Structure 1
Amino acid sequence: METQVINIDKEILGGTPVFNGTRVPIKNLFDYLETGESIDTFLKDFEGVTKEQVVKLLEMSQKLIETSSNILNENIA
């Protein structure tokens, strides 16, 4: 059974995408990774987020990038 990873609700942080079941913005994970912090550090700092959510989000991001790249490459040709 797949679990929803991202929640967007105008009542939670004005509609900022957050990890489902938390008030932790998705952007926080990417900010941590961009500065060289580990996923483990992120999970320690945001205990409401699970490792499974982080892994699923990264998998979703990879698929989105791959799909976008394919679309962009088609438009170039």
Structure 2
Amino acid sequence: MKEVSRDPEILGGTPVFAGTRVPVKTLFDHLMGGDRLDEFLEDFPTVTEAQALAVLKAAELSVEAAA
């Protein structure tokens, strides 16, 4: 997935939004904490809306495939 990158030199290989140092998990943490997507994007302006939506869509498809 081009929206996510892993590099051992960036946060020890933690999956981050491509071109940023923002861990993908941070998006899910914010949403689980009750924040809206626009609030997350405001807090992390280096993450684009397209990146966040692509990650959420991939998670949705992963859950559907597991069902």
Query: How would you bin the TM-score normalised by the shorter chain?
Result: over 0.9
Q: State the TM-score, normalizing by the size of structure 1.
A: 0.83
**2:7 paired residue among 6, 9, 14:** 9
Aligned mates of 2:41, 2:11 — CA distance in 1: 20
**How big is the shift at 1:29?**
0.3
- Gaps in structure 2 of 5+ consecutive residues: none
Q: Percent identity?
A: 46
Give the number of aligned pairs: 67
> Runs of 4+ in structure 1 displaced over 3 angstroms?
none
Q: State the TM-score, normalizing by the size of structure 2.
A: 0.95
1:52 to 2:55 alignment: no
**1:23 paired residue among 3, 21, 24:** 21
Q: Which structure has more RCO (C-alpha within 8 Å, separation ≥ 6)?
A: 2
Give the structure with higher Rg (CA). 1
